Amino acid sequence: MHSEPLGPTTLDLFADADQQPARTEQLGPQAFVLRGFALPWVPRLLAALEQTLKAAPFRNMLTPGGFTMSVGLSNCGALGWTTDRSGYRYTALDPVSGLPWPPMPQVFRELAQCAASEAGFADFAPDACLINRYLPGAKMSLHQDRNEGSYEPPIVSISLGLPAMFLFGGMQRSDKSQRVPLLHGDVVVWGGVDRLRYHGVLPLKEGLHPQLGAQRINFTLRTAG
Ligand code: SIN
Ligand code: FE2
């Protein structure tokens, strides 16, 4: 008897050296890391990313306090998160081009919905995808995601490329943070009682990822409107 050939899903799960079989880690009552969950979607994610960036390239935005963010930002979807001297907010138009943000590629929506459902949040319908690019040294200070119209839907955060140390804190900035290494293909989902947890990313270490080179890409999907 010959054995069954490996199905495409199984092959996809182990296609990279840094890949691991999907497994779930719990960060809070309603917060989870889905290890390797995005791996089967990576080729489609990268193709969609390339298209999106043609219309809305990464830019280093100004914080309301006048600092230039070290992370390069772009967006896709009906709403995009932006910041400048007048504050943080969601806009329908890209302030650089004056055009609507590029539409959200189906693959982002699908993956985010699957990941949310895996974490116990049914029918997640994101209308905003923030795209963060970390070059070595770039970091994201502890913050809460609180510019959205409702805190009912969860947040889905997809990591690609170089590993990063994600900080997952409490409801107060001063609460102790868990340190969570995020690798290529990991997805973090937090919502419900954990929706307003402080979080951030330590400065990215130098490195070279086989597929993405010297960078980390993070997609953060939310229902903003
Ligand atoms: C964010 O909170 O916007 C980004 C989180 C991350 O890069 O993992
Ligand atoms: Fe955030």
**How far is 160 from 212, CA to CA, in rounded Å?**
8
Looking up residue 177, the CATH number of its domain turns out to be 2.60.120.590
Ligand 1 contact, 75 CB (< 6 A): no
**How far is 82 from 103, CA to CA, in rounded Å?**
16
Reduced to 3 states (helix: H, G, I; strand: E, B; else coil), residue 87 is strand
Ligand 1 contact, 220 CB (< 6 A): yes
Q: What is the pLDDT of residue 18?
A: 52
Bridge partners (DSSP) of residue 30 are none
Q: Is residue 121 part of a domain?
A: yes
> What is the torsion angle, in degrees rounded to the nearest 10, for the CA atoms of residue 94, residue 189, residue 208 and residue 201?
80
Ligand 1 contact, 166 CB (< 6 A): yes
Bridge partners (DSSP) of residue 91 are 80
**How far is 33 from 123, CA to CA, in rounded Å?**
19
Q: Is residue 8 part of a domain?
A: no
Reduced to 3 states (helix: H, G, I; strand: E, B; else coil), residue 107 is helix
Q: What is the pLDDT of residues 48-72, one digit of tens each?
A: 999 999 999 999 999 999 999 999 9
Q: What is the pLDDT of residue 22?
A: 62
Q: What is the pLDDT of residues 20-50, one digit of tens each?
A: 456 999 999 999 999 999 999 999 999 999 9
**Ligand 1 atom nearest to CA at 145:** 2
Which of 83, 130, 156, 157 to mutate for ligand 1's pocket (most ligand atoms within 8 Å of CB)?
A: 157
The residue written with tokens 């504050």 in the block is 87
Reduced to 3 states (helix: H, G, I; strand: E, B; else coil), residue 42 is helix
CA–centroid distance, residue 142 to ligand 2 (Å): 8
Count of structural domains, the chain = 1
Q: Is residue 2 part of a domain?
A: no
Element (H, E) at 49: helix 42-55
96 secondary structure, DSSP code: T
Q: Is residue 13 part of a domain?
A: no
Q: Is residue 7 part of a domain?
A: no
Ligand 1 contact, 215 CB (< 6 A): no
Q: Is residue 24 part of a domain?
A: yes
Q: What is the pLDDT of residues 62-117, one digit of tens each?
A: 999 999 999 999 999 999 999 999 999 999 999 999 999 999 999 999 999 999 99
Summarize the confidence of residues 193-208 as an average pLDDT.
Answer: 98
CA–centroid distance, residue 218 to ligand 1 (Å): 6
Q: Is residue 144 part of a domain?
A: yes
Which of 160, 186, 201 to mutate for ligand 1's pocket (most ligand atoms within 8 Å of CB)?
A: 201
Task: Take atom 2 of ligand 1 and give the residue whose Cα is closest.
Answer: 200
Can you read off the two tokens belonging to residue 69?
């963010």
Q: Is residue 112 part of a domain?
A: yes
**How far is 126 from 153, CA to CA, in rounded Å?**
9
Q: How far is CA 96 from CA 46, 55, 206, in A?
A: 23, 10, 29
Q: Taking 80 as the threshold, does the pLDDT of residue 224 lie above it?
A: yes
Ligand 1 contact, 52 CB (< 6 A): no
* pTM for this predicted structure: 0.90
Q: Taking 80 as the threshold, does the pLDDT of residue 147 lie above it?
A: yes
Residue 38 structural domain = 20-222
39 secondary structure, DSSP code: G
